[in-house]
Amino acid sequence: MASSSGSVALAEKLQGLNGLFAIYKKKGPTSADVLNLLKNKLLKEAGIKQHPMKRKKQVLKLGHGGTLDSAASGVLGKKRWGLKAKVVGIGKGTKMLSGMLSCSKKYTTVGEFGKATDTFDALGTVTEVQSYDHITKDDLESTLKKFRGNIMQTPPIYSALKQNGQRLSCLVKKGEAVEAKPARPVVVFSLSVQDYNPPCFTLNVECGGGFYVRSLVNDLGKELSSCAHVKELIRTKQGPFTLDEHALQEEKWTIVEIVKAVESGVQLIPSEVACKKLKMDSQDDSEQVKEAT
C-alpha cells in the first residue's frame, strides 16, 4: 500500500495535469462509461474521494472530444461504434477538446450488403433485405467517387443529435415521434476499399467532424441498388492522435502513464491552421465535448 505522503504526491500530480491524451475504447461500453471508469481508476490510485453529486466541485476534470458509438472501438472521440483511440482532456485541457472536433478523423469500417437496419448498424432491427449479387468491386470503387469531397449527408435517426433537448435515439426507443434531421454539409478527405468479400466490404475513411460512417454505408447500399449496414467500426485516428501510436490501453490507465501521455500530447497538438476544418454548425450535438459525471 502506498504511504500517505506518496498518495498526496500522486494526488497533487494528478490534479496538476492539464492537456490532452488518447485512450483505447473497447466495443461495448459507451464513451461516458469509459470516461467514468478512467476517472474512478485515477481517483482511487491517488486516494481521492469524490462526492458523486458535486459536479460543480469536481476534484478531477475530464472530458472527451465527442461521443463514440458503444458498439465501436478505438480512439475515444464517438459513441455507438466508438474510436479505438479516444481523445481525452484533463484539467484545463478540456477547453482544448473543441479544437479536436475540427480536425480530421480516420475510420476503418466493415459494411454488409443485402441487409438494412433501423440503426444503420448491426445492433439494430433488420428493416430491409435486398439482393447484392450484382455488385462488383469495380462498382463499389466507382460509386465511392460520389462520396468524396464536400458532400451533403443526412444523419441517422438513432444518433446523439437532439430534438427538444433530448437525444433522437432516446426518443425513438421511447416510441415517440422523431423528425429526421435535414441533410447537412460534411467533408470526406479520402475514401477507399480495403477489401471486398461479398456481402462484406471494408472501407478506409478520413473525414471531418459531424460525419456519420453509418450514414455513408447506408447511402452506399442504396446507391448500388441494394442496402447495407455497418458490421464493425474502428476509429484509428482523431486529429494528431492515432490508435497504434498514442492510445493508452486500460492496463496503462495510471497516473504515471497519463503524465507521460499528456507531456507527449503537447508536441502533437496541431495549430488551428494545421487542422482540416469543416464549416459545420457549432451547435452540432453529435460532436459536443462530453464531461465525466
Residue by residue, DSSP assigns the chain as: ---HHHHHHHHHHHHT--EEEEEEE-SSS-HHHHHHHHHHHHHHHHT----TT-GGG-SS-EEESSPEEET-EEESS-EEB-BSBEEEEEGGGGGGHHHHHHS-EEEEEEEEETEEETTSBTTS-EEEE---TT--HHHHHHHGGGGSEEEEEPPPSSSS-EETTEEHHHHHHTT---PPPPPEEEEEEEEEEEEEETTEEEEEEEE-TT--HHHHHHHHHHHTTS-EEEEEEEEEEETTEEHHHHEEPGGG-SHHHHHHHHHHHHHHPPPTTTS------TT-GGG--EE--
What is the residue-wise DSSP string for 186-212?
Answer: EEEEEEEEEEEETTEEEEEEEE-TT--
Helices 31-46/255-268 angle, 10° precision: 120
Task: Clarify whether 69 is annotated catalytic.
Answer: yes
Among all chains, which residue has been given the C-alpha cell 500522486? 10
Take residue 93 and report the three cell numbers written for it: 485541457
Pairing of strands 115-117, 126-129: antiparallel
* Cell reading at 259: 503524465
Which residues are annotated as catalytic? 69
